[in-house]
Every structure is written in C-alpha cells, then in structure tokens.
Amino acid sequence: MSPSSSSPRRRTLTAGALAATAALVAAGVQFTTVADAANGRDTAIAKAKANVSRNADLFGFGAGQDLQVKDVMIDADGTQHVRFDRTYQGLPVIGGDLVVHQDSHGRLKDSSRAKGHNPAVKTTVPAVPAQTTAAKALGAVGQDVTAATSTPQLVVWAADGTARLAWQTTVSGTGKQGQPSGRIVVTDAITGAEIEQLATEHQASATGTGHSEYTGDITFADTLQADGTYALIDPVRGHVTKDAHNLSSSSIKATSGTLYTDADNVWGDGKKFSTDRATAAVDAHANTAWTYDYYKNTFGRSGIKNDGKGATVFVHVGTNWDNAQWSDACFCMMTGDGDGTVDPEQVDLDTMGHEMTHGVTSATANLRYSGESGGLNEATSDIFGTMVEFYANNAVDKGDYLFSDQSTPPWLRRFDKPSLDGRSADCWSKSVGRLDVHNSSGVGNHWFFLASEGSGAKTINGVSYNSPTCNGSTVTGIGNQKVAAIWYRALTVYMTSTTDYKGARTASLNAAKDLYGSGSTEYNAVAAAWSGVNVA
C-alpha cells in the first residue's frame, strides 16, 4: 500500500513541511543545551546522531529524515541510551522510534529499533480533506463516545514495518459513564481504509480508595477503563492485580484469573479473612506499588527486571494456602488466604516485598535455591521485604525486624535472634547449607540486624530486640538504609548463582568499599557483623 503519484488530488511537500522540521529541531536544541549541558547529555545526543548517520543502513536512516531526541539515560558506568523519534519530510513517523546504546565514549554498542525504521515514502501527499477523515473517525467510535471532537494529523504510519501516508485522527469526547473517552483512528491517506484504532483512555490513571487488611485506609493508583469501571492496573508501575479464584499455585499462568474491577473505586472492607474478595487485593496492589517505589526511589531500579515492566499479582491462590510465592515462569506473584484460622491473607508489606525481591534476585545474582546460596536468596527477600516495610512508614504496619508479623502473627521469622523460631540458624557452621533455605537464611538475617542495629538489647518502633553475637563481640550498627544499599550492590554487582556465605562476606565488603571506602566505619561494621555470625 504505497501512495500513488498518479492520484488526481495531491500536493507536493515543500516549504511548509521543511519549516515545521526546522522548528522542531530548534526546539530540541534549546531544550538540551540549556537544561542538561552539565551532565554529558548533549555529547551523548551528538554522538548518537553521528552513530545513526554512520550506520544509516542499520537504522534505515535516509534522505528526508530527521531525528527528535525523546529521552537520554546515562548509566552509572557511563553507558548511554539515547532515544529518538523520527520524522520524514517533517511528518512524524509512527513506529519509527529507535534507541542508540553506546558506551561512555559514545561508541555504538547496540540499538533497539521499532518496526518502522525505514519510512521511505514518496514525497507527494494526497490532499484528502481533513473533515472527511474526521467524520469517518467519528463514525467509527460513535456508539461509545458522545460530544466528540476530532483532530486530524498527517503522519507516516510505519508501525507494522510498511511505511504509508496516513491521517491520524484523535477523537475526544465523553464515554457512557461520563468519563473522558476517545480513540485514535488511523486511516490510509490514499484509500481512506482504516489502518488501526486505539483507545486513548485506556491508560487513564485514577486513584482508588481502599479499606486494607494491614495498613488501614489507603489510596493507590489504578486505571479508569473505557467502560467507566476502575481496574487494579497500576498505570505508573505496570502491575496488574487479579483474583486467582482459588486456582492452585502450580496451575497459574499470567493469563489465569480475573482482573479486579469496581464501579465506584472504593475497594475492600478492611477485614481479615474477609468475604469481600477485593480486600486482599487492596493490600496486594498497594504493597506491590510500595515495593516498586522502594527499589525505584532507593536504587533507581525500574521494576523486577529493571525494564519498567510490572508483574501480575494474584490473590486468593489455592485453598487455605498459607503461603506466597514468586514465579519467573509467569512473571507473577501468588498469595494465599492463610490457614483459615490464625493466619489471614499473605499480602502484607513485608511479604509482598519478599516475593517481589525473589524476582529481583532472579534477574540479578540468581542465587541457586539450595544450600548456602539458597539461604542467601531467602535472606535477601527477608531483608528487602523488611526494608519495604520501613520505607512505607505506615502507621498501622510499622517497620520492624519481624518477618510476616501481620500475616503470620506474631511473626514467622525474626532477625535479631533467628533461632527463636525453633528452626533457623543464628550462626554460620559447616552444616548450615543442609538446612531448609528458609532456616539457613537466619545467618544472613542475623548479619543484617547486627550490621544495621548492632548487638545487644534495643527497642525500635515499640518492638524489643536482643541480638547476640556468635563470637562474643560487640557490634555497633550503621543503620539499615546503609546496610541495604551495601546488600543491593553486593547482590546486583558481585554475587553470582553459587555465592555462599563466605562469598557474601567478600561481595558485601566490596560493595561497602565502593560506596563508603575501604576501612570506613561502614566497611568495618559490615566486617564485624559477619564475624559476629561466624563468617570470617
């Protein structure tokens, strides 16, 4: 479907389009030089443009095209990712976007390209009257949207890899429930045939109000859908919360269950063992957001795989399943309803943080889930689950070193003296790797407590702790934020799938050296805490 130059009604793209292109370029230059000169952004953009020109075949970059900078990301190690939109003869190319990945010197390493990276079309554009296309677009959405207005724009549409001239018409109006509603209708500029229709309101963000089980009355991000109902889709973080309808954890796929929707955007009844199936969903949805935000705002990590994508969160998994689980296979979290008598739904802050952290570990060090590495994997989830609880700073579910204290009262595991649960190890020994991974994790949790809060008796947020050392030493803590930062760096930079406790000591000391310097107070506290749990 390429445009025909024999069309009787056509015009030639000349001065107007070129002037539009020049204006866009000028705007881009002003933005980048004024705002970002200090951080190497300009250089990265210039190098990226040069890389595209030098590799014109790879990028399908030819005559008449121009690049518009959309975003620049520079990693801590200097690696640069420059994202461009593309124009052709001054027209936006839909599906022509690309990302140039280059090293700290601006040398091309790799690229990511949308399908339409070769938007060559003829330079003549048929003069299809805008009103005709707009009327067509209005007709296409008429049943769902009233009082609509439309804005047509001529584009090069190449989202399927074949470039063609098209009218992109945005239709805005009011949906059946009075919500703002609209469509983007794309029609072939030559034939008038519809190419695609997109809902513009699909990602309309909203704020839900929830009566949660564990954190009182809260608000959270959800989505206003085209039909006027609200859905537990977090439009910022991307996670989606579903009712598993008691499907067992072994049979769940990402597509299982049903998305939570609600008419008035007020969710749950605040009760444990609630008959309102949305109550657990409130906690799971909001606490997943807290976990995402903890990683994002503390470490700059965008989601489990650091790619900005959200997981699927299932509540009401199994029958009396007193557990929660992360699955790489479905990129999902599953939470059960507790044992039905003492333990309620497994959706509290530290539990959601724990499970999502299994995903982070899997995407980074990928610690094998057996032996000492398995214990470190579990400890990592307990540590960051606990840090999420501290980060959320909720008045009802306060930060503590008791794991799963809300959903498995009074607690399932604790950090100051893990052996108080009757199963976990306080100190490293040669046999610790033979324990279940939820018990060999005690050594790592105990280390985290000693490094954060120090040895001996202490009351924090109303909870009393008393942490012994295994070698009789006294350890002074440096606060859990610093220890968490060290552990995160150790996990993401130095640990591997087979790291054991001795290796974890080395990895965390390397991380402490990077962050605070060799021989710093922080470095010495990390070392003393490891010695305090018999990891020398």
Query: Catalytic residue positions?
Result: 355, 438
Least separation in angstroms between residue 385's CB and Zn ion is 9
Give Dmax (Cα) for the chain.
Answer: 93
Q: Between 41 and 438, name the residue whose CB sits nearer to Zn ion.
A: 438
Q: Which is nearer to Zn ion, 87 or 381 (CB)?
A: 381
Q: How far apart are CA 228 and CA 226, in angstroms?
A: 5
Cis peptide before 119 (omega within 30 of 0): no
Query: How does strand 240-243 pair with strand 312-317?
Result: parallel
User: Shortest gap between Cβ of 491 and Zn ion (angstroms)?
Assistant: 15
Is 335 one of the binding residues for Zn ion (CB under 5 A)?
A: no
- Whole-number minimum distance, CB 285 to Zn ion, in Å? 20
- Inter-residue contact 240 to 310 (CB < 8 Å): yes
Alpha-carbon distance values, 218 to 30, 173, 255 (Å): 42, 31, 28
The residue type found at 499 is T
Q: Which is nearer to Zn ion, 223 or 439 (CB)?
A: 439
The residue (of 158 and 356) whose beta carbon lies closer to Zn ion is 356
Q: How far apart are CA 251 and CA 28, in angstroms?
A: 51
Q: Tell me the closest approach of the beta carbon of residue 447 to Zn ion, in angstroms.
A: 17
**Rounded distance between C-alpha atoms, residue 322 and residue 290, angstroms:** 22
Shortest distance (Å) from residue 408 CB to Zn ion = 13
Residue nearest to Zn ion (CB): 381
- Compare residues 335 and 381 and give the one whose CB is closer to Zn ion: 381
CA neighbours within 13 Å on the CB side: how many for 449? Answer: 34
Q: Letter for the amino acid at 425?
A: A
Would you say 312 or 327 has its CB closer to Zn ion?
Answer: 327
CB of 233 vs Zn ion, minimal distance in Å: 26
Min. distance of Cβ 488 from Zn ion in angstroms? 17
Q: What secondary structure letter does DSSP report for 426?
A: S
What minimum distance in Å lies between the beta carbon of 444 and Zn ion? 12
In the window 85-124, what residues touch Zn ion (CB under 5 A)? none
Helix, strand, or coil (residue 266): strand
Rg (CA), the chain: 28
Nearer to Zn ion, 182 or 375 (CB): 375
Q: Which long-range contacts (CB under 8 A, 24 or more apart) does 515-520 make?
A: 515/482, 515/485, 515/486, 515/489, 516/482, 516/486
The DSSP H or E segment spanning 414 is: strand 413-414
Decide: helix, strand or coil at residue 230: strand
What is the C-alpha to C-alpha distance for residues 83 and 198, in angstroms, rounded to an integer? 23
Determine the Cα–Cα distance for residues 426 and 444; give it in Å rounded to an integer.
9
Judge contact between 402 and 467, C-beta under 8 A: no
Residue 133 or 351 with smaller CB distance to Zn ion: 351
CB of 441 to Zn ion, least distance (A): 8
Number of residues that bind Zn ion (CB under 5 A): 1
Query: 409: which 2 tokens?
Result: 């009262």
DSSP state of 311: P
Spatial CA neighbour of 265 closest among 228, 226, 301, 302: 228
Map residues 364-383 to x or -, x wherever contact with Zn ion holds by CB under 5 A. -----------------x--
- Residues between 152 and 211 that touch Zn ion (CB under 5 A): none
CA distance 79 to 75: 5
Encoded amino acid at 519, one letter: G
Nearer to Zn ion (CB atom), residue 181 or residue 381? 381
Compute the distance between CA of residue 330 and CA of residue 338 in angstroms, rounded to an integer: 22
Continuous segment of H or E residues that includes residue 139: helix 130-141
With CA atoms as reference, report the closest residue to 442 among 460, 456, 423. Answer: 423
Q: Which residues bind Zn ion (CB under 5 A)?
A: 381
